[in-house]
């Protein structure tokens, strides 16, 4: 089986599991007797576990494991502990099992990104057309899990989630030890201490700010649209438009000219798309405008993601590819957690106008990316 096909299956399994767990795990938690404050505390604890696990596990993977082994080990640990979560009785056991499963699961995607961004270019393959299968699987999993949850009691929903985790294990086991021999991406020629690109902190900040600008949408757009009179079907369609736009960008990214598809131009494009998108949302637009604004998800998320992960892959010091992707996931998660907490306060105080703050975050991310681009241009490194 081709390397790109194996990675496509892995991405599909990973995002399929996310598409099942994200919307439907709270149903099981409620059925187990957890109220809203307890669920909030559980999710916050999971975020803290991710922040601790990411740097530790990705550094360990760089030092001691081949990519396929590291991914399979993390996926196996997450699936096994998630199975124990399904068997857990009592709040303390649920909190412990969820925290440990989240810590193991947190490193699966950064490890997969590191593996893909080294192996695909070395084989003459583009990242975007492989990564799009994750986005497609997310939509399918949302729909499929919604159909399944209508057929089972809420107390049994956990086994749908567990099954999705074990599919990730199966996909990870398809990776071969020989895949570890892929050459790393060509690195920029900028002089940098200890093998690190001095633009990397700016790129990490740009990615974190742009991705965090989505927090108000993720947390409160459904409430806003529902209050505006949109049906559940219409709201679901709006979410699907955003993911479809992301898939289209991933599919076509390999065909874009290098002046656009290079990492820093992609980050700048993502920031611009986000600033326009959130400025439009701040105006509390009529429903007819919402599909167009949702279509900008292809830029605000998709282009920013492509730019960030590819820059980080190229800028990583030798032997630190997994750690570099872990650092990107860490700063993105930290910024998202902070922005989500602030979004609740902003939305309560200002309603749709709170999106102006999200536009400012995206613009600030764009400023960081532009500064990184200028530093590269002055130093002769170009815009990798």
pLDDT in tens, the chain (384 residues): 789 999 999 999 999 999 888 778 888 888 898 887 788 788 778 888 888 888 888 888 877 768 888 899 999 999 999 999 999 988 899 999 999 999 999 999 999 998 988 888 888 888 889 999 999 998 888 788 778 877 888 888 899 999 999 999 999 999 876 565 444 444 443 334 445 678 999 999 999 999 999 999 987 887 788 888 888 778 878 888 999 999 999 999 888 887 788 899 999 999 999 999 999 999 999 999 999 999 999 999 999 999 999 999 888 877 788 888 889 999 998 998 888 888 888 988 999 999 999 999 999 999 999 999 998 877 665 545
Angle between helices 304-315 and 321-350 (to 10 degrees): 150
Q: At what angle do helices 3-31 and 158-173 cross, to 10 degrees?
A: 160
Half-sphere exposure of 242 (CA within 13 A, CB side): 19
Under 8 Å CB-to-CB from 180, ≥6 apart: which residues? Answer: 66, 67, 68
Give the pLDDT confidence score for residue 380 in this predicted structure: 61
Please report the sign of the dihedral spanned by the C-alpha atoms of residue 143, residue 110, residue 200, residue 188: negative
109: enclosing H helix or E strand: helix 108-122
Structure letter (DSSP) for residue 187:
P
CA–CA separation, 69 vs 262, rounded Å? Answer: 30
Contacts of 107 (CB under 8 A, 6+ apart): 53, 54, 57, 58, 61, 70, 74, 326
What is the set of domains in the chain, with CATH numbers?
3-179 (1.20.1250.20), 197-379 (1.20.1250.20)
Distance of CA 236 to the CA centre of its chain: 20
- The answer to whether 103 touches 77, Cβ cutoff 8 Å, is no
Q: Is 80 helix (H, G, I), strand (E, B) or coil?
A: helix
How many Cβ atoms from other residues are within 10 Å of residue 154's Cβ?
15
CB 175, CB 6: distance < 8 Å: yes
Model confidence, pTM: 0.82
Q: How far apart are CA 106 and CA 102, in angstroms?
A: 6
> Up-side HSE of residue 134: CA atoms within 13 Å toward CB?
23
- Residue 235: CB atoms within 10 Å: 18
pLDDT at 189: 36
Position of tokens 């074990």? 166
Among 327, 355, 351, which residue's Cα sits nearest to residue 339? Answer: 355
Q: How far apart are CA 74 and CA 76, in angstroms?
A: 5
Phi, psi of 317 (to 5 degrees): -65, 155
Query: According to the model, what pLDDT value does residue 196 have?
Result: 62
Query: Do the Cβ atoms of 6 and 174 come closer than 8 Å?
Result: yes
């Amino acid at each position: 089986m081709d390397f790109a096909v194996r990675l496509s299956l892995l991405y599909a399994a990973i995002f399929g599991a996310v598409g099942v767990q994200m919307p439907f795990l709270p149903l099981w938690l409620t059925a187990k007797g957890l109220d809203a404050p307890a669920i909030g505390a559980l999710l916050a604890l999971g975020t803290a576990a991710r922040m601790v696990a990411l740097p530790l596990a990705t550094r360990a993977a760089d030092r001691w494991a081949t990519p396929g082994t590291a991914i399979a080990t993390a996926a196996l640990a997450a699936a096994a502990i998630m199975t124990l979560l399904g068997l857990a009785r009592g709040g303390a056991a649920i909190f412990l099992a969820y925290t440990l499963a989240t810590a193991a699961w947190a490193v699966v995607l950064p490890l997969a990104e590191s593996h893909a961004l080294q192996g695909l270019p070395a084989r003459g393959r583009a990242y975007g057309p492989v990564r799009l299968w994750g986005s497609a699987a997310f939509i399918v999993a949302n729909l499929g899990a919604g159909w399944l949850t209508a057929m089972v009691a809420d107390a049994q929903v956990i086994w749908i989630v567990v099954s999705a985790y074990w599919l990730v294990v199966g996909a990870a086991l398809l990776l071969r030890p020989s895949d570890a021999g892929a050459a790393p991406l060509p690195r920029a020629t900028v002089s940098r201490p200890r093998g690190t690109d001095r633009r990397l902190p700016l790129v990490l900040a740009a990615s974190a700010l742009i991705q965090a600008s989505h927090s108000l949408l993720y947390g409160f757009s459904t409430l806003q649209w529902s209050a505006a009179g949109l049906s559940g079907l219409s709201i679901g369609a709006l979410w699907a438009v955003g993911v479809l736009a992301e898939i289209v960008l991933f599919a076509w990214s390999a065909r874009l000219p290098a002046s656009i598809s290079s990492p820093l131009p992609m980050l700048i494009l993502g920031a611009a798309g986000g600033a326009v998108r959130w400025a439009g949302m701040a105006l509390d637009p009529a429903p007819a405008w919402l599909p167009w604004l949702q279509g900008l998800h292809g830029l605000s998320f998709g282009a920013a993601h492509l730019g960030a992960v590819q820059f980080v892959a190229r800028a990583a010091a030798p032997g630190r590819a997994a750690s570099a992707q872990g650092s990107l996931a860490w700063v993105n998660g930290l910024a998202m957690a902070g922005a989500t907490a602030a979004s609740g306060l902003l939305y309560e105080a200002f309603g749709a106008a709170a999106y102006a703050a999200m536009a400012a975050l995206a613009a600030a991310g764009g400023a960081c990316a532009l500064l990184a681009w200028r530093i590269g241009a002055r130093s002769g490194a170009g815009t990798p």
